[in-house]
Structure 1
Amino acid sequence: MGPTPHRLDDDTIRVYLTCLDDKGRGRPGYVDVSSADPTKIVKVSTQPLLDIGEPGAFDDNGLMLLSLVPVDADTVYMYYAGFELCVNVRYRIFTGLAISRDGGETFGRHSRAPILDRSDTERLFRCGNFAMKERGVFKLWYVAGSDWTEVHGKMMPVYNLRYQESADGVTWSDSGTLSMALTCDDEHGFGRPWVVKRDDGTYQMFYSIRRRSFGAYRLGYAESADGINWVRKDDEMGLDVSPDGIDSDAIMYSAVVSIGAKTYCFYNGNNFGEQGFCVAELVS
């Protein structure tokens, strides 16, 4: 679940991902693949990079790795979503931080509390995060919300896209700037934004869309001049569900990386990646 590509060198892409146990609790690991042919497996991690939180913690029902930010030659920040089961609502999801001091081989929690915790305006969900560091400033795109809605007889979360900045990548505001709002009654949430900054200074965003009519995620695409205000161009994503196979019902959690002349989109298919993760290559 949630393939997160990270370029190790010209030959290798490390795809960090989250694997679920028989109780549905996620722990992150990685798969190294060839940059020339990402279907060729080079290496697989043998142990989780991080375990679930202790009982009562915000991530005691699993965590989902979502983005990594190299801070210096040895330090990498891992931002992840922590899942907590509840009684009067199904669950809450907040953002945690783990830190690697060896270039991304091993990680340890920054704290047992979330760095994006509940706030008055973002009470139930502050997660789905993508972070990058530009000119000494940490930038964070994430989803946030305080409500649930019924979809096909099941209560589902409602959240939109927020943005904020931090000087250290650890301390964040209680509320972000609304960056992308739901545009119709059919939509009830966005998932896992992935942001790419072009050479001309503009931004691309690849994200997931939850619609009542589909009952499962589809992929969206948007562009921005400043990284805050986005113009949706979903029809230009160029990637949808397949007629059959592991991505025939849903397509989600897109993450895009370019190495040399090739650009790949890693993503999940049906049931949040139950049968694995997928990769598509950009063609002109």
Structure 2
Amino acid sequence: MKKRNIKLVISLAFCGSLILSYVIGQGIKLDQNSKPGDNNAISSDFKLESVNKLVKSAPFEIVQKYESPVLERGSDGEWDSVDLLNPSVIEINGTYYNYYSGYNGEKWSTGLATSEDGISWEKYENNPILTLSEEGWDSNYIAANGSAVYFNNKIYYYYQGTDEEGFSQIGLATSDDGIGFTKQENTVLTCGVAGEWDGQATADPYVIEHNGKLYMYYLGMNDLGIQRLGVAVSVDGINWIKSVANPVMDIGVRGSFDENGLGEPSVYYEAPYFYMLYTGRNAQEVRNIGLAYSLDGINWYKNNYAGLIESQNNTWDSQVICDTTFLFNKEKDLLFVWYGGGDKAEPAQNLDGNVGLFTVDISQSRDMYNFNTKADWNVSKVSSEDVLRGSYTIEDGQAWVSDNISIDLTNDTNSDTIVISGYMPFQIYQAAGIENLKMAVYINSELVNERIFNSEEFFEFTIEKTDELKLMDNLNVCIITDKAVVPAQLGLGEDERRLAWVIKSILQN
């Protein structure tokens, strides 16, 4: 029998995975028993957003793929003459900084290029800016394949290194000016213990800041050489805690573009969706990128079986498309995606690697500043339930919500208040013998309003924006009640949803 819902009538850029393939191919010893991951012994059950739902689609349309590379490898004899891959792009004061990886036939190093538009790039004259150490964890073969993020008024560059024994792990270098980098002496994300999914290597870091914390998506390899993806969290950028849910993404089924392994994750958040592009390797070592969606940053839905980009013969990137990095271009209102590409399907390097660019439309066709149940959600590319996490389907211009809801709004800097309106159906609480209920409103994790309900009523909260809030780009509004009910358990129909109250709107005025 179909259950009824209770209603109220209310008026990757070279592939780090390639590097690991190279290490194994050279017969370098990988024995984790002699390299315990002491600083990663702790794991935690965390999510980037509190939501228990798997999303299977989100707006993502490739608008333009540039025919030629936007950043090319150097001339014979230069430090990046064989391959130039793995872009990591950030924007500071209107200038794009691209920290990319270059290979000279013997070792990988990190260089810098800058741009005003993300298309035309100028290499730094004193490249490379990061090279192998004389000794230690990054003294052999590679000090590159990194991810840059602006954090604590510095550039944090997380990169892959290997030592003389061939252990691949992730370390950190920081910079005040974007050019001169100081390396941390020790790694920040080491391998797991022997037998674990990442017990033999960690590589391919990609770091994002979300709600004041850093999250690192990375490749892990086990004793059998299987490469999958995981995530770790940090509050200071140095001490990291791995997720107990790892690996968060597994290899594809037989015949898929990623059946041989995954690598080079890159993640971008456009509320309410997390987008991941990642590199997949098929049985012939041809590489392509895949697309996955998530609402919480942990549970991902793969969108591709054959890969995102259709391969074409006789192009500079016909055999390898990998190593993506995201940045939103406000002027064009498009997501810029830089990637590494090549025309040789080699297992490690010598790909004729260069960096390319394609643009993506992720617009949602909705009001990004407000939430209103009376809006025309039929014209939106997204569902109201995805936008307001913890809410249910809008019915008759209103929507039930659970006891923990949240939404990310683009801040209207010209508005002075946030107004939350809804209806408290206290009769269902009385049926459960509940005498009162407390509601708390948080904005960017700060408590801004509390109220006790003990009767049925329409309500409206008006919250004054502080000067600090007015300066922020985004507002996270979270509303928590200390109680909720399941109508079916009270004999009020067959609705088994967890219901707290009915929302009308969250508006910036």
Tell me the TM-score normalised to structure 2 length: 0.43
Task: Check if 1:44 corresponds to 2:65.
Answer: yes
Which of 194, 197, 203 is matched with 2:206 structurally?
A: 194
Structure 1: distance between partners of 2:85 and 2:237: 24
1:159 matched residue in structure 2: 168
2:253·2:259 contact (CA, 8 Å) conserved in 1?
A: yes
1:59 aligned counterpart, secondary structure: coil
For residues 22-33 of structure 1, the aligned pairs below 5 Å read none
The verdict on how the C-alpha distance between 1:205 and 1:18 changes in structure 2, with shifts beyond 3 A counting, is: closer
2:97 aligned counterpart, secondary structure: strand
Which structure is larger by alpha-carbon Rg, 1 or 2?
2
2:273·2:293 contact (CA, 8 Å) conserved in 1?
A: yes
1:218·1:252 contact (CA, 8 Å) conserved in 2?
A: yes
Report the alpha carbon displacement of residue 273 of structure 1 after superposing the two structures with TM.
7.6
The verdict on how the C-alpha distance between 1:274 and 1:37 changes in structure 2, with shifts beyond 3 A counting, is: farther
2:245 aligned counterpart, secondary structure: helix
2:104 matched residue in structure 1: 84
Describe the superposition over 1:25-64 as per-residue Cα deviations: whole angstroms up to 9, x where unpaired: xxxxxxxxxx9532x3210112211221122222111111
1:119·1:175 contact (CA, 8 Å) conserved in 2?
A: no
2:86·2:145 contact (CA, 8 Å) conserved in 1?
A: no
The verdict on how the C-alpha distance between 1:120 and 1:18 changes in structure 2, with shifts beyond 3 A counting, is: closer
The verdict on how the C-alpha distance between 1:52 and 1:234 changes in structure 2, with shifts beyond 3 A counting, is: farther
Describe the superposition over 1:114-144 as per-residue Cα deviations: whole angstroms up to 9, x where unpaired: 1002221232221121111235311111112
Measured on the aligned residues, the alpha-carbon RMSD in Å equals 2.5
2:119 matched residue in structure 1: 105
Which of 226, 239, 246 is matched with 2:249 structurally?
A: 239
Report the alpha carbon displacement of residue 180 of structure 1 after superposing the two structures with TM.
1.6
Structure 2: distance between partners of 1:52 and 1:36: 35
2:271 matched residue in structure 1: 260
- Tell me which of the two structures has the higher relative contact order, counting C-alpha pairs closer than 8 angstroms and 6 or more residues apart: 2
Structure 2: distance between partners of 1:283 and 1:260: 9
1:270 matched residue in structure 2: 281
Report the alpha carbon displacement of residue 147 of structure 1 after superposing the two structures with TM.
2.3
2:252 aligned counterpart, secondary structure: coil
Tell me the TM-score normalised to structure 1 length: 0.75
The verdict on how the C-alpha distance between 1:256 and 1:183 changes in structure 2, with shifts beyond 3 A counting, is: same
Output the amino acid matched with 2:150.
K
Describe the superposition over 1:46-87 as per-residue Cα deviations: whole angstroms up to 9, x where unpaired: 2211221122222111111331110122x101011111223x
1:138 matched residue in structure 2: 155
Describe the superposition over 1:201-260 as per-residue Cα deviations: whole angstroms up to 9, x where unpaired: 2221100113341x2421121112211111112634532112231112211111110113
The verdict on how the C-alpha distance between 1:221 and 1:135 changes in structure 2, with shifts beyond 3 A counting, is: closer
1:220·1:234 contact (CA, 8 Å) conserved in 2?
A: no
2:31 matched residue in structure 1: none
Task: Check if 1:96 corresponds to 2:111.
Answer: yes
Which of 118, 122, 140 is matched with 2:132 structurally?
A: 118
Output the amino acid matched with 2:99.
Y
Task: Provide structure 1 residue ranges, at least 5 long, that are not aligned to the other structure.
Answer: 3-16, 20-34, 87-91, 149-156
2:250·2:262 contact (CA, 8 Å) conserved in 1?
A: yes
2:171·2:189 contact (CA, 8 Å) conserved in 1?
A: yes
Structure 2: distance between partners of 1:56 and 1:239: 39
Structure 1: distance between partners of 2:244 and 2:75: 40
Describe the superposition over 1:182-201 as per-residue Cα deviations: whole angstroms up to 9, x where unpaired: 233463432221112221x2
Structure 2: distance between partners of 1:105 and 1:36: 26
1:29 matched residue in structure 2: none
2:235 matched residue in structure 1: 225
2:58·2:293 contact (CA, 8 Å) conserved in 1?
A: no
Structure 1: distance between partners of 2:246 and 2:190: 19
1:143·1:162 contact (CA, 8 Å) conserved in 2?
A: yes
The verdict on how the C-alpha distance between 1:238 and 1:209 changes in structure 2, with shifts beyond 3 A counting, is: closer
Structure 2: distance between partners of 1:179 and 1:275: 28
Describe the superposition over 1:85-133 as per-residue Cα deviations: whole angstroms up to 9, x where unpaired: 23xxxxx111111111x22121121136310022212322211211112
Number of aligned residue pairs: give it: 236
2:275·2:291 contact (CA, 8 Å) conserved in 1?
A: yes
Larger % of strand: which? Answer: 1
1:67 matched residue in structure 2: 88
The verdict on how the C-alpha distance between 1:211 and 1:237 changes in structure 2, with shifts beyond 3 A counting, is: closer
Task: Check if 1:279 corresponds to 2:254.
Answer: no
Larger % of helix: which? Answer: 2
Task: Provide structure 2 residue ranges, at least 5 long, that are not aligned to the other structure.
Answer: 1-11, 16-56, 297-509
